[in-house]
Amino acid sequence: MATTTHDAGHGAADAAHGSSGMPQLDFSTYGNQIFWLLVTLVVIYLILSRVALPRIAGILNERQGTITNDLAAAEDLKAKAVEAENAYNKALADARSEAQRIVAETRAEIQVGVDEAIAKADAEIAAKAEESEKAIAEIRATALDNVKIVASDTASALVAALGGKDDTDTIAAAVAKRTEV
Amino acid sequence: MEGDLAYIGAGLAGMGTGIAALGVGNVAANFLAGALRNPSAAASQTATLFIGIAFAEALGIFSFLVALLLMFAV
Amino acid sequence: MGKLFFYVALALVLVSGVLFAPETAGLAIHPMDQFTVTPLFGGDHIAWYTPTNVTLWMFFAVVAVFALLVFGSANRGIVPSRAQSVAELAYGFIYKMVEDVAGKDAVKFFPYIITLFMFIVTANFLGLIPMSFTTTSHFAVTGLLAVVVFVAITITGFVLHGVKFLGLFWVSSAPLALRPVLALIEVISYFVRPVSLCIRLAGNVMAGHAVLKVFAGFAGALGAASFLPIFAITAFYALEVLVAFIQAYVFTILTCVYLKDALHPSH
């Protein structure tokens, strides 16, 4: 209650001071406020409509244009990149098939050479083998003859040592008979 | 004595601001409930939310004004 | 660095209760004194042309708008600076609001609407500076804004649609018997619009500032603990920053809604 009376006294003091409690309801200031508000609004409107808004709209449009251009350029560049990649891939595929072709050709050439060499080597080997066989046959034949000579010599020497008479024909026949393998 | 009655009246009028707060809370709560059911539609309706809140709040401000008038102007 | 600053500020807050304590403790709450209109250069008669603190703070609002929207965008950068991006944000915000709420053909009213918005939002924010004067807390100011909007929109409606603009009040989808009653209600609500616009803006701003002053008034009675209301004031100040923006937004968007009614009055 004490504070109430205090406040009421304060209100009375204000009333005595000349202004009502709420400055908002002091109608003597309305003309002043309305005048200055109109001035302010007109000034702000002029600033905005003459300078600020066209400028900001220009900036926004410019940015939109730049972004659109950049996007288009990026699209172009992307298309070019895709193109380049395709060309690269094509070149790569070409090179690969070319390489394969060359490899196949080379392989075929080498194969031919190898085949020839093998055939030649086979022929040589066959010839050598034939010669060797012939030589072996000769050697065998001479070896048989030598065996016969040695055998008949040995036989005649044996017969002589045993005191018999040297009969060449009989010895030869016996040797021939024994050496007939 | 009349001044004291004006203070009582100001207190009663001040209750109006609290009741307006109920209204504002109601608007916001229903908006939130709807927004949680359909979050994709919520963003487009925030302007409506603010308009609704403003209408509900204006009446609370009226009662606040009445309280002020009783306190200072009567 | 920030931490150090925070602790120094906190210490100052705590000490201030001792340093600035009033000689006699007691409630000294004068929440309405901050709204007093006073002449700048002495004298106590206020004529319509007298430069008052209203003039000063409206001038600051003009300076703020000029600094933000003209200086801010002076570089015309493709990559915006901070001030320029705020200016572009404000432009885009209001432009989109006009286009979405009032329709494409309302774009020619865009300069007027952004003038309203920029004035209200800068005046609200400037009013939050301590020791400043809040021009938008006066019914004379917000009332004029609301009346300008109301008259402009009514004239637009009649110029564009003639007598058909009155169809706004004639709800053709309602039963015939109800229509006169609804028309009466619609007419009343139409004429309440400027009142509610005016009271809403001034009332919100005035209420917030008065509450701040009331909290500050508690300090006188708390003695050495008088720093305590500072915390409450800090919290409430944050709310007031929000309210300052939202009320400007609401005023603007309601203007757009009413403008839509004037452009497309079919109910």
Give per-residue pLDDT as tens, C163-192. Answer: 888 888 888 888 888 888 999 999 999 999
Chain C residues with CB-CB distance to B61 below 8 A: 199-200, 203-204, 207
Tokens of C64: 């703020």
Q: How many domains does chain B have?
A: 1
> Chain C residue with minimal CA distance to A65?
C78
Cβ contact B61–C203 (<8 Å)? yes
**Residue (of C261, C258, C265, C260) closest to C149 by Cα position:** C258
Q: Based on the number of CB atoms within 10 Å of its own CB, is C16 exposed (0-12), middle (13-18) or buried (19 or more)?
A: middle
Q: Which region among A114-128, C2-16, C190-204 has the lowest average model confidence (pLDDT)?
A: C2-16
Question: What's the domain range around A47?
Answer: 13-179
Q: What is the pLDDT of residue B23?
A: 93
> Do the domain assignments include residue C128?
yes
Tokens of C100: 């979405």
> Do the domain assignments include residue C6?
no
Q: How many domains does chain C have?
A: 1
Q: Which residue has the higher pLDDT, B65 or B31?
A: B31
> Do the domain assignments include residue C38?
no
Task: Spell B33-70 as b/e; 16+ CB within 10 A means b.
Answer: eebeeeeeeeeeeebebbbbbbbbbbbbbbbbbbbbbb
**Residue (of C70, C37, C194, C58) closest to C124 by Cα position:** C58
Q: What is the pLDDT of residue C225?
A: 77
Chain C residues with CB-CB distance to B55 below 8 A: 196
User: What proportions of chain B, in percent to the nearest 5, are helix, strand and coil?
Assistant: 95, 0, 5
Cβ contact B69–A8 (<8 Å)? no
User: Is the reported ipTM for this assembly greater than 0.85?
Assistant: yes
> Do the domain assignments include residue A31?
yes
Cβ contact B47–C204 (<8 Å)? no
Q: Which chains touch B (3 or more CB pairs under 8 A)?
A: A, C
Chain A residues with CB-CB distance to B4 below 8 A: 4, 8
Residue A9 pLDDT > 50: no
Task: Suggest the residue from C254, C260, C261 to mutate for an interface test with chain B (most B CBs closer than 10 A).
Answer: C254
Q: Which region among A18-32, A71-85, C233-247 has the lowest average model confidence (pLDDT)?
A: A18-32
**Residue (of C251, C62, C166, C235) closest to C54 by Cα position:** C62
C17 falls in which pLDDT band (50, 70, 90)?
confident
> Chain B residue with minimal CA distance to A4?
B4
Q: Is A25 on the interface with B (CB under 8 A)?
A: yes
Arithmetic mean of pLDDT over chain C: 89
Q: What is the pLDDT of residue A1?
A: 35
Q: Based on the number of CB atoms within 10 Å of its own CB, is C248 exposed (0-12), middle (13-18) or buried (19 or more)?
A: buried
> Do the domain assignments include residue A35?
yes
Half-sphere exposure at residue C9, Cβ-oriented, CA atoms within 13 angstroms: 9
> Do the domain assignments include residue C22?
no
| C201-219 mean pLDDT | 89
Q: How many domains does chain A have?
A: 1
The pTM (predicted TM-score) of the whole model is 0.74
> Do the domain assignments include residue A162?
yes
Q: Which residue has the higher pLDDT, A65 or C222?
A: A65
Task: Suggest the residue from B49, B64, B70 to mutate for an interface test with chain C (most C CBs closer than 10 A).
Answer: B64
Q: A40 with C51: CB under 8 angstroms?
A: no
Summarize pLDDT for C87-121 with one digit per residue, the tens: 999 999 999 999 999 989 999 999 999 999 999 99
Cβ contact B50–C249 (<8 Å)? yes
Arithmetic mean of pLDDT over chain A: 84
Question: What's the domain range around B43?
Answer: 2-73
Q: What is the pLDDT of residue A91?
A: 94
Summarize pLDDT for B1-23 with one digit per residue, the tens: 567 888 899 999 999 999 999 99
> Do the domain assignments include residue A3?
no
Instruction: Kindly calculate the radius of gyration of chain C based on its CA atoms and give it in whole angstroms.
Output: 23
Q: Is A9 on the interface with B (CB under 8 A)?
A: no
Q: C92 with C26: CB under 8 angstroms?
A: no
Q: What is the pLDDT of residue A181?
A: 59
- Sign of the dihedral defined by the CA atoms of residues C236, C241, C247, C250, in that order: negative
Question: What's the domain range around C230?
Answer: 50-263
Q: C231 with C107: CB under 8 angstroms?
A: no
A16 falls in which pLDDT band (50, 70, 90)?
very low
Distance of CA A61 to the CA centre of its chain: 46
> Chain A residue with minimal CA distance to C221?
A3
